[in-house]
Amino acid sequence: MLKGKKLINFLEYLKDSIKAGLPITTIINNLKNSFVFKEIAIKIENDIVNNKLPLSVALRKNNVVPNYVSYILEAGEKSGTSLELISSLLNILENIEKIKQETKIYKIYIIITLFSLFFGIFLFQFVFKNIFLILLQEVQSKNQFIVFVQKLAEFLSLQNIFIGFVFILLIVILLSFRNIVLDIFEYYILGKPYRNLVLSNLMIIMGNLIKSAIPIPLAIHISTLTIENSILKEIIYKNFRDLTKNFTEFNLDIANKIFINFPKDYHLLLVNSFTTGILDSELIELGNKLQFESVNSLKSKFFKILIFIIIIITLFLGSLIVISFLSIYLPIFQDIN
């Protein structure tokens, strides 16, 4: 299944092909000549050429793209607004990809900081084994500080350091692809900025689908399928499904209950736009505004998390340096006294 940059490139190709007015057979043949999408063309060729299936259905049947992408393409095929819907979807996917690339930079900073931590621990172990233990042999009695340093050295043993390193490495790996750990991190740690970003994408897609003459309940259904986070998706999907009676009904009362899930500042505007018949344009406009705000908030959140980790590790490293220094001189002073 296409994801990330490959999905974006595939949709860009479809957009350019549709814009140029290329027939479906030419689109398939061009895909077959591509090193990246050749296998996809072979998969869907029979369904499109021989079985006469629409491109969106063939893509969904052969599991080439996520379901929500195929539904959006299908909506575009039926309404004649494929270009508009693909452009809107591309805008959202490209923004998500940009955020992913920026988070990779933060991950690199965090990894470098963590390696500094492990270096500090190794330095402490070196001081403990090569200086402190030698000096300790000349000390007649042990005070509380000496006992503390010994226990700290035991806690920061090579075995425990290795376990900690493996644990941190595992967390970094788990946060690199879609899984329950990443879902929890996004929903609970990134919190409101991330949820607002998801809602902004929801509003933009929903608005474009409604603009393409897709019934509002169906537009709501398709837009909720675009949510990647399983925790947020379950909450929103279940809520919207129940309110619209399995995505079949929509009225002013339902609109009032659904739009209450969006930022409070937008609730009245969205409900009012439904009554005045401009819900599609209002969703797109407010969605773009919310997307801009949430992306900036999300960047700020990542920066704060990075600063917090750096401060904690710096304090810990500073403490180790102080303890290492004291562990060298205090036993000497004690022996002199």
What digits encode the pLDDT tens for the residues 176-196? 667 787 888 888 888 888 899
pLDDT at 46: 85
What digits encode the pLDDT tens for the residues 274-322? 888 888 889 989 988 998 888 888 888 888 887 887 787 777 777 766 7
- What would the two tokens of residue 298 be? 């999300």
Average pLDDT on 72-95 reads: 85
pLDDT at 49: 82
3 state SS of 191:
coil
- What would the two tokens of residue 143 be? 């005070």
**Residue 236 vs residue 166, higher pLDDT:** 236
Query: Up-side HSE of residue 63: CA atoms within 13 Å toward CB?
Result: 1
Identify the CA nearest to 62 among candidates 44, 75, 48: 44
Report which listed range, 2-6, 154-158, 247-251, is most confident. 247-251
Identify the CA nearest to 218 among candidates 104, 117, 68: 68
What digits encode the pLDDT tens for the residues 123-182? 767 766 666 666 666 555 556 666 666 677 777 677 777 777 777 777 777 766 677 878
Output phi, psi for 257, to 5 deg: -75, -35
Q: To which residue do tokens 């919310």 refer? A: 290
- Kindly tell me if the per-residue pLDDT of 242 is higher than 90: yes
pLDDT tier at 330, thresholds 50, 70, 90: low
Q: To which residue do tokens 């290795």 refer? A: 162
- Kindly tell me if the per-residue pLDDT of 104 is higher than 90: no
pLDDT tier at 336, thresholds 50, 70, 90: very low
- Kindly tell me if the per-residue pLDDT of 201 is higher than 60: yes
- What would the two tokens of residue 51 be? 């079985």
Average pLDDT on 265-276 reads: 87
3 state SS of 330:
helix
Start-to-end C-alpha separation, the chain: 74
Percent of the chain with pLDDT over 70: 83
Q: The whole model's pTM is what?
A: 0.71
pLDDT at 236: 92
**Residue 27 vs residue 151, higher pLDDT:** 27
pLDDT at 149: 67
- Kindly tell me if the per-residue pLDDT of 33 is higher than 90: no
- Kindly tell me if the per-residue pLDDT of 208 is higher than 90: no
3-state SS track over 91-132:
HHHHHHHHHHHHHHHHHHHHHHHHHHHHHHHHHHHHHHHHHH
What size, in residues, is the chain? Answer: 337
**Residue 25 vs residue 161, higher pLDDT:** 25
